[in-house]
Copies of this chain bind each other. A is one copy, B any other.
Amino acid sequence: MTSQAADGGSPQRLAFLGPEGTFTEAALRRLPGSADAVRLPFTSVDAALDAVRTGGVDAAVVPIENSVEGGVSATLDALAGGAPLVVVGEVLVPVAFVLAARPGAALGGVTRVGSHPHALAQCRGWLSAHLPAARTVPALSTAAAAQALTAGDAPYDAVLCAEVAARTWGLDVLAEDVADNATAVTRFVVVARPGLVPEPTGADKTTLAASLAQDRAGALLELLEQFAARGVNLTRIESRPVGTELGRYSFSIDCEGHLSDPRVGEALMGLRRVCASVRFLGSYPRADGAAPSSPPGTSDADFTAAREWLSRMRAGESE
């Protein structure tokens, strides 16, 4: 992130999937240095990323995985197409919902609860237990539901949202920790224009998008074997439909390690050869700090030793 920071006078400008009070804003606030940045909400992932592309902002924070806001596909597709962008960081945010209402409202009086459909689903158990008679009303996002409740034109009288959204829009919290699953997290990425790749930290991830040369199970196997042959572990793989045709896919992939690691570099070259297209989407420190697993024969030293041996053989030496 620091490489993206404006040096000197003007503060860094950071886009996020808004409105204010979303989990995405909570993710942005966890970034080092974000307190001094100008934070700009955008109404869609596409809009936020386009602002990065055009230079309107320095970087954008968008959800990529398991989001309560449902932003995953939009993010994956926006990264895979258009002018190149790269991920330079990731943030994990615990998913913690509150039930919020206009000041003065009581839990007993809630008859309709609004929120993003994913949030409604994730709190279904709590709602059944505590508000068995309440109806649910879908909204565009958890924060938008809070905003509409404050504005007075919402078809519901309470919302499920992040605590920060309740605070932002001046709502009272009627109940905390209402998600059925107390340990869920959402993963956000920080996206910037291509430039210097962040230095390896020893606990990095690399993200890429690859589309298969052929519409076959075998092509996916071949792709995975390019990783397996170098001992590179995948942490996420997701298929995305390609363009206009059902049954053609590209794959959005996160793997352990950094672009500068020999094993990651060789695996990426292998993909580049066997796939119809490969887009490198960034190497960056893992939010969880976990070091990659390194099967026998795949350490940097192993790659270096193998390369030196090959050089000796090519020079006609005996061993």
Contact surface of A with B, Cβ cutoff 8 Å: 43-46, 65-66, 70, 72-74, 83-84, 92, 117-118, 120-121, 136-140, 153, 181, 183-185, 187, 193-197, 213, 216-218, 220-221, 224-230, 232-239, 241, 243-247, 249, 255, 259-260, 265-266, 268-270, 272-274, 279-280, 296-298, 302-303, 305-307, 309-310, 313-314, 316-319
Contact = CB atoms under 8 A, between A and B. Distances in A.
Contacts of A194: 316-318
A301 to B, nearest CB: 10
Contact of A185 (B216, B217, B246): B246
A309 B273 CA distance: 10
B238 A238 contact: yes
Given A44-B120, A117-B46, A224 B217 contact: yes
A63 B269 CA distance: 37
Contacts of A274: 296-297
Given A217-B232, A225-B228, 16 more contacts: A44-B121, A70-B70, A74-B118, A140-B140, A194-B317, A194-B318, A217-B227, A218-B228, A221-B225, A226-B229, A268-B306, A268-B310, A269-B306, A269-B309, A273-B305, A279-B319
A117 to B, nearest CB: 5
A310 B136 CA distance: 39
A66 B250 CA distance: 13
A256 to B, nearest CB: 9
Given A43-B138, A73-B72, A140-B139, A183 B244 contact: yes
Contacts of A298: 273
A139 B196 CA distance: 38
A157 B224 CA distance: 48
A184 B317 CA distance: 33
A31 B318 CA distance: 25
A4 to B, nearest CB: 12
B249 A236 contact: yes
Contacts of A317: 194
A217 B233 contact: yes
A100 B184 CA distance: 40
A121 B46 contact: yes
A44 B138 contact: yes
18 contacts: A66-B241, A84-B318, A84-B319, A153-B153, A184-B243, A184-B244, A217-B227, A221-B221, A225-B228, A230-B270, A236-B239, A259-B313, A268-B310, A269-B307, A272-B306, A273-B306, A274-B296, A279-B319
A181 B242 CA distance: 12
Contacts of A247: 235-236
Contacts of A279: 319
Contacts of A266: 266
Contact of A197 (B84, B216, B305, B316): B316
